[in-house]
Each structure stands twice: as structure tokens, then as C-alpha cells.
Chains A and B, each alone.
Chain A
């Protein structure tokens, strides 16, 4: 009944799942958890199948028809299950019968085999017995054979010994020294051991004689030179094997090597002497040095160490040898490097130095204690230092050249029509500062090659630290900037005493250049340097602010000097005009004197010039009608002087008045005082200097009536035009007041001109 249930279709579960479950059941394995939960009593294939329940369920749920169908289906299944079971039973029975047959057959076979094994064991016992007997009989003969073969080898050795002299001779003839030496070495100890026997002794003597000759020949060869380093070392090796004294050999070897290395050096020297640098560049030279001298040197060191490896005391000798030769080589290289003066292409030099340095590393590997590599590094460092110096001087001369260019451009006649206009001041300034900047950049780039990653010596501490900070930053960039400031200052000093050889415009231009340096260029260049060279400031370096201060000072000095020079030019005109005129006998003024117009013109052109480079600057507020307004003040103060009623010694009227005027301007006027970096301040400075000169010159003269009037006219004219240039127009008024006042004092017949007349004259021209 249960079997029939196995195939009950309503169960709905798939056939592999069911099989597995059944197997598990059979092997009493732990049932899967979920099935344990809810054993379905209606599952016809399940273990908890309850036929009663199932029947009840069917009856409850199914209609009659369905029940009928169910019933017929179940009957059909039961039938097929029955037939399956029958087939299985038959099959198993057949197999069991065939197995029984096989077992019986095997039982018979084993009995036969047992007999055969017994027979085999008896046979083996017999064989063992026979073999023991045979070996017993052969024992004696075997011993004899062994002895005979021993004698044979001994005889052969003896034969070798007897033939040795002849053989050595032959080797000698064929110059197969190596073979001879090895043969001799093999025989040597034997001969030594048996030398008490006369026959052996004879052989030994012969051999000695031959070897002596051989050694002689070897030495001869050694002495002759001309052989290559390899042959030489071979030679030495053989001699060593012949127990030649090592020390002597050392010396000979070294002296021999020396002659050949010296030949190399002489070759280099000859190249140096023939003023060859023109033909061969430094890279070729270093290449040659490396390939010939350094590689030979390495070879010598290597073979020496190989040959005399077990003689440590000879190492010092080698060191001395290498050091002396290397020193000569270095001096040659140094000379060559010194001839490298052109600053155009730095890469060649750097590459040459790199190669030089790289090849020396081989020496350091071969000879760890040698000072050669460090000396080589020293040379490289020296060369780098030299290079920086050269670049600095190149920069300096570049700067001076560009200044000359600027001077020429400034001196060029201003635009005859048709020709191209000369570059304007701002253009000149930008081109100058750009070319300086570019030059610095290109120099930095060149110098930067020294610290490139693929250069062997760039990792040396010098190139990481001191080269960057002390060398490039301080020695090159900072020095150059200082040089610029310095040379600018020199312009101020030399020009003052030697009659102004520097054109004032150049002073102005340089002042602006220095100011630009202060505001931006210096910090830019230094930042650039620090970035490119990753300067680590181990040692104190010049601060950006210090440099800026220096540049500013230079700019200030230049601008002051510019003011001074321009002021002096105008002063000179005014002074000449006052000194050369006879002011007592002059005619009534009809015009403003030409020199005043010239002063105004010049001031205007200076104004334009300065305006090109400097900002306007602040001036004190004034009304647009300034000249008129202040003029009234000016004239009224004059009136007080003119019509001072009683001018007696007891009432020092003019002195009081002058000091009153002074009180109006409580600040003392410094004539040659520093100016600010703007146009108004510069112009103020120039005008101050000019007017003060005018004042002092007037005080030294005596005026007639018309002389005073002419001064009045001139001052009014200046008044009309100069106020617009200065920061504080009161300054101009005050100075002009002083001039007219002083002129009135120095006048024999002080009758001033009518204000209206003065104005008419001035406006007319």
C-alpha cells in the first residue's frame, strides 16, 4: 500500500527531490528542518501517511466523479508497481547464482599454486650455495688485478715526471707559458718530496733550470712593455705562481701600468695644449679621458686586486698609485673645464661633468677607500661654482649692454618724419625689464641642468643644499639684483660730480625699473628660483624684504637724483638769466623774458616725461580758478611791503613781515628733499629747486625800477603756469612772493608795476 502511494501523482513533488528524501530516510539522516515542522499526514509518499485521514479528506473535498477517477488511477499505479517489483527480484537471483560459481573455481586454483611455491624455494637455496662457492675461488685473482692497475698509474706518473723537462722545453719553445707553469706546478711538490733520490733530483734540477729560463723570459716580456694590460696581468699571474717575490712584482706591475697610463695622460695633455678646444668640445675631451685613462685605470685596479688579492699590505701602494695618477688627470680636466668660458650652452658641460663623475664611480666601486671619487666630486662642484660666477658676470654684462641700448634709443633723434618713431618710454621700460627677466629665466634654466634627476652628481649634498641656496639663489640671483641696485646708485654718484653724463631720462627710467623690481619682480624671481631649485634654507639667506628695501632705496635715490639734475638744468637757466643782466639799467618790461617761457616749456616736457612712467599723485585741493585767486593774496602781501609807511631802523617792518609770511607756512621747506614716487612730487621737487635758485640769485643783485618790474612780470608768468604741476600751490606762491620781495628790497627805486599791467603783459605772451 505504501509502495502504491509512492507514485501518487497528487503529491505534486518532483521526482529527484523525492528520491533524495527517500534516500535520506533510508540512511536515517537528519531530516530537513522544514519537513520536520509539519509532517503532512495526507502526503501519500510521506512517512506519517495516515490512510484514514487521507480517505476522509478525499471524501470531503472531492466530488463523486473525482473520487472515481482517483480510484481508477490508483489501481493502475498499484498494478505497474507490482510488475516492477517482480522484475527486480528475478534479476537479483541470477546474479547471485553466477557469484557462487566463481567462488568455487577460485578455491581449486589456489591449491595448485601452493605446490609451485614450495618448489621455487628449494631451487633458490641451491643457487645461493653455488654462488658462495664461486666467489671463494675468484678472490685471489681480483686482488692481483687491483695491484696491477695501481702500478700502472704510478708508472704513468713517473713517465710524466721523466718527460717533464722535455715537455717544458717544448712549451718554452712554443711560448705556451701557462701550460708549462701549470705542469710544473703539478710536479713540483712530488719532486720536492722525493728530492733525496738522485734520479728525481736530476729531474728537479732540470725543471728548475727550465723554469728559471721561463721566468727569465716572462720577466723579459714584462719588462719590454708594449703588451696589453691583459697579457701583462697574465704574465704577472704566472710569475706569481712561480713564487716570484710579490712585492717586487707589485712595483714592477704598477710602474709598468704607470708608463702606459701616463701615455694616455700625455695624449690628453697634447690635446689640451694644441689649443684644441676649438676643434673638440669638452664632451669629446672628457669622453676620451674616460675611455682611455679611466677605463685603463679601472683595468689596472681590477687586475691588481685579482693578482695580489691575498696581500692586503700592498693595497696602500695601489691607493698611492691611483691617487697620484688621478691627481694628474684631474688637473688636466680642471684645465679643460677652465677653458670652458662661453655661457651659451650649459648642457654640454653638464653632460661632460656627468660622464666624468659617472665614470669615476667605477673606481670607487673597485677601490672603496680611494679619495678619487670625492676629488672628482670636488671638481664638479668647483666647476659648478665657476659656472655660476660666469653666469653672474654674463648677466651683469647683459644688463650693462641693455642699458647702453636704452641709452642709444633715448639719444636717437626724436622722429624725423618718414623714419619709424623711436620707442616710447613705457615701451623701453617694458622691453628692458622683460629682457632682464627673460635673461634671468634662461640662466636659471641653464643652471637648473646641474640638478636634473638623471645627472649622477645632482644627488650629492652640495647640489641639493648649498648649490641651490648659496650658489644659485645668493650667488646668482641675489647678487644680480644687488648689482642692478648698485649700478643704479653709481649713476647717481658719478653723474653729480662729473657734470651729468647720464641723461636724466635714463635716471627716471631706471628709477621706475627699480621700483617695479621692488613691487613685483624681485619676489617673482625669488619665488621662481625657490620653486625651481627647491631651496632649503639651511644657511641664512637674503630675505625678499631686504632686497626689496634695497631696490626701493635705489629707486628713491635715482628719482631724487633725477629731480636734482632736472632742477639744476632749469636752475642754471634762471641763474644765467639773472647773473648776466644789468638789472639797474634795464628798459621797461614789455614782455615776459624768453627764459621764463623756456622754464615753463621745460617743466611741461618734464611733466609729460614723468607722467609716462609715474602716476599722477595727490595734490592739495584747489579751485579751478586757482591762479587768479591766489594771485590776489600774493599781490596784497606785496602791497604791505611796498607801502610800508615809515621804514625806520627802530621799526624793523620788513623783518617782521617776512617772518609773518613764514608763519603762514609753519613747515620749513627743504629744497633738496626726497620725493615720493609720483609725478606731482617729482615736479614739486624740481620747481622748488628752480625757484629757490632764482631767489638766491635775485638777492645777490641790485635792481633798478624796471628791473624790479621785470621780475614782477616774470614771477607772475611763472605763477600762472607752475601752480598746476605741484602738490601744494602755496609753495609756489610763497617762493615767488619771496623772490619779488627780495627783488623789491634790492631795488634802488622800488616803484612796482600796476597789477593790471602785469596781467596784460603776461596774457599777451
Chain B
């Protein structure tokens, strides 16, 4: 059972921003935002044909500036937000905006995928998430599984909750909160929790992780010194409501139970440099991806703290004796947490990694030099989890 070789796609520009097209559940599609100060920035729409192992790309122009963060609407395939740098009068400001992809990008590209660069289409601006009062926007978060009407932006030390109205052409601030404390506090990243009816948010600033209640816009927990250094990213376990994973500059990945914040549930120390991104698999939360500036992507199997710590539960009555014993062996095996694979296709720092929204066994990682690599979970593991 040989695994498919990774598929590599090279962008012309350096890039940091990657997201799966969240609302798309049939096609495997990723969006990549480029970073270039001198040329027109682009959003690459990368379609992966699973059967033929072929990548189809479409390019949309993003005139506003270099893209630092990108996220797609969970409700509307065509809507996305970006955080981009705007340079004006020798001042650099990171702004955020909601965009719509032109409806005809798909049809146009299919006819002549090669010369799409000749006449790239442009994104249609829906509205700005005006942040002049709040400062640089670090990221924009869509309400998970929502109707695409609510987003949160993290700008410097502010959490701002926006309501998108009139087909997302108008954004109004519905509420906001500010991080209080000594010094210049700045959010580095955040995550909107899919649990508790989407009323919670977790943010990272410096070495701390904070939880927020969106109804009262107040802090509900704070893990000071969650990491030895800067916390770079965090992610909620999609199946266990109190569990979240974080990563940071101390090369570690930590798992937290937010009800017991004194000690991490578990700590991984596999990377040899800062860990920039951590992602739970959407369906099988034992699978965890981490991306690091040591140019590696690591896929770990964290069975012991997953929602299926004993493997798939199988009805014993249906099994004959021999199968039963066989099954028991199998179910004992995955109890050990382990590193499944280390992917070394990148040659520069990997800043982003994302699971596909359509195929739970597929993921993409993006390194700074513009290389996008699409990989699959090893088949052996896939069948062990499924069967």
C-alpha cells in the first residue's frame, strides 16, 4: 500500500497566507495569498484533482497590498477576508477587508488554464473592516459553521466583532473588547471556538493565551506563560470542547484543558525551531499538523487525548472470536501517541498548514519561498482509523 507522492506547486512570490475554501465541501480547494512589495499581489485558487493528482490553479489579483492573513467564509464559497499591508506616506498599516471572487473565475479558467495569468481577474471588494481606531489587524476570524454574517478581527490589542449586512457589503461593529495590561500588548493570533454555541474565542498575545466570552466581551480565562516564548498559533479540538492546542517560539506544541490551565495536558517537542501553525483534523481529532520554521511539517497522532482514545468503538456481537482478538490488538496499538510522518519537502520556513475542507485525509502546507505542498495522511493509518 504505497502512499501517493506529495504534489508540489510553486508560486512566483513569497507567501504566508493559506486557507482551505471552507464552504466548499466537494472540491479540494485551497486559497493562497502572496506577499510582494513590488508587484501586484495575487490570490491563487488551487484546485487539486485527487484522482489524477493534478493541480489546477486560478489567479485573482489583490490590488490592495501584500497579504498576511486570509480566511474564507464558511457559508459563501465566493467570500473571503484578507489582512493586507497598506503603505501610505511611508507608514505601513495592516488592514482587513471582505472580498468576493468574481463569479466567472471558474468558467474562464477551465477553458485555458495556462494563460490565466494573461488576463487575471480582480477581486471585488465588499467592504473594509475599518481599523483606523484599532491599529494593525493580525487576523480575521469567521464564525465557525455560521451563516457568514459575523467576523472577528484582532487588531493590536482589540477584539472587534463585526456584523456583515446587506450581502456583506456593509460591516458594523457590534461589540469590542480591549486587552488591558502593561506595555504594548498585541494579539498574534486567535481562534473562534466552534463549541458552546460559538460564544467563545481564544487569543494569543506574547506568551499568554486568553479565552473570551463573546456575549459579555470579557475575559474568561488566561494561561499566563503558556509557552516559554511567543505563542504563534492555536486551534480548538473540533470534538472536545475544552481542549485546545497551541504552539510557539519555544519549539513546543502544547495541549490544554482550559478547565485546568495550570499545566498543559501534554507537550510535544519535535520541531527544531519555532512552530508557526497548529491544526486539528476536522473529523479525526487525533491527527494534528504542525508547521515550523525548521522547514518541516509534522503529522502527529495524539490518540491519548483525542475524542477516540480507545480507537473506533466496534460492536462486539458482530465479530467472530478471531476477529475480536485481532481487533483488540489493533485497538491497543493506537493508544500510544506518535509522530506519523515528518514532511521535508519544503526548503524554507513553513508558516502555514491547512487541512482540506473536502477530504479529511488531505492537507496543504505553504513555505515562505512560495512552495505549496499537498500531502495525504498515510493510507495505513487512514485505514486503521476508519476500520
Contact = CB atoms under 8 A, between A and B. Distances in A.
A587 to B, nearest CB: 12
A146 B172 CA distance: 155
B56 interface: no
B272 interface: yes
B87 interface: yes
Contacts of B85: 702
Contacts of B229: 568
A655 B344 contact: no
A673 B294 CA distance: 11
B186 to A, nearest CB: 10
Given A692-B273, A702-B92, A647 B39 contact: yes
B274 interface: yes
Give the most central of A498, A650, A668, A673: most B CB within 10 Å: A668
Given A649-B117, A658-B348, A673-B272, A692 B293 contact: yes
B344 A668 contact: yes
Interface string A696-707: 100100101000
B37 A659 contact: no
Interface stretch (B8-16, B102-110, B379-387): B8-16
Contacts of A584: 87, 90-92
B38 to A, nearest CB: 7
A745 interface: yes
A659 B251 contact: no
A662 B347 contact: yes
Interface in A701-757: 702, 704, 745-748
Contacts of A498: 225
A704 B349 contact: no
B369 interface: yes
A649 B12 contact: yes
Given A702-B87, A747-B37, A748-B87, A670 B272 contact: yes
Interface string A71-114: 00000000000000000000000000000000000000000000
Contacts of A499: 225, 228
B90 A745 contact: no
B10 A652 contact: yes
Contacts of A61: none
Contact of A748 (B37, B117, B225): B37
Nearest to A750: B38
A650 B117 contact: yes
Describe B's contact surface by its main secondary structure: loop
B250 interface: yes
A702 B90 CA distance: 10
B12 A652 contact: yes
11 contacts: A496-B250, A568-B229, A584-B90, A584-B91, A649-B12, A649-B13, A649-B117, A671-B293, A696-B274, A702-B92, A748-B37
Given A652-B13, A655-B14, 4 more contacts: A499-B225, A649-B39, A659-B369, A748-B37
B277 to A, nearest CB: 14
A668 to B, nearest CB: 7
Contacts of A650: 12, 117
B117 A672 contact: no
Given A652-B12, A658-B348, A746-B37, A672 B272 contact: yes
A670 B90 CA distance: 37
Nearest to A662: B347
Interface in A568-608: 568, 584-585
Nearest to B292: A671
A390 to B, nearest CB: 33
A696 B90 contact: no
Interface string B289-302: 00001110000000
Describe A's contact surface by its main secondary structure: loop
A497 interface: yes
B344 to A, nearest CB: 7
A62 B90 CA distance: 164
Interface in B226-240: 228-229
B355 interface: no
A497 B251 CA distance: 12
Contacts of A672: 251, 272-273
B238 to A, nearest CB: 27
Contacts of B369: 655, 658-659
Given A649-B39, A672-B272, A496 B295 contact: no
A673 B368 CA distance: 22
B144 interface: no
Given A496-B250, A647-B38, A649-B39, A655 B225 contact: no
B74 interface: no
A568 B274 CA distance: 12
B370 interface: yes
A498 B11 CA distance: 41
B114 to A, nearest CB: 11
B347 A702 contact: no
Interface string A646-683: 01011010110011001000001011110000000000
A647 B13 CA distance: 10
A658 B346 CA distance: 12
B227 to A, nearest CB: 8
B250 A702 contact: no
Contacts of B349: 696, 699
Contacts of B293: 671, 692, 696
B117 A671 contact: no
Interface string B202-242: 00000000000000000000000100110000000000000
Contact of A655 (B12, B87, B91, B273): B12
A378 B347 CA distance: 68
A498 B229 CA distance: 10
Interface string B129-162: 0000000000000000000000000000000000
Nearest to B87: A748
A746 B16 CA distance: 13
Contacts of A671: 272-273, 293-294
Given A662-B347, A704-B90, A496 B228 contact: yes
A691 to B, nearest CB: 12
Give the most central of A568, A659, A671, A673: most B CB within 10 Å: A671
A654 B85 CA distance: 21
A745 B272 contact: no
B287 to A, nearest CB: 25
Contacts of A654: 14
B276 to A, nearest CB: 9
Interface in B287-326: 293-295
Nearest to B347: A662
A659 B90 CA distance: 32
B254 to A, nearest CB: 10
A436 to B, nearest CB: 31
Interface string B5-28: 000001111100000000000000
Contacts of B117: 649-650
Contacts of B371: 655
B90 to A, nearest CB: 5
The 5 residue pairs across chains A and B that have the minimum distance between CB atoms = A649-B12, A652-B12, A670-B272, A671-B273, A672-B272
A503 B14 CA distance: 40
A584 B85 CA distance: 13
A491 to B, nearest CB: 14
Contacts of B273: 670-672, 692
A499 B226 CA distance: 11
B335 to A, nearest CB: 25
A217 B261 CA distance: 85
Contact of B368 (A568, A692, A699): A699
Interface in A314-373: none
Nearest to A580: B184
A585 B251 CA distance: 33
Contacts of A652: 10-13, 370
A584 B369 CA distance: 23
A659 B42 CA distance: 22
A759 B376 CA distance: 50
Interface in B48-68: none
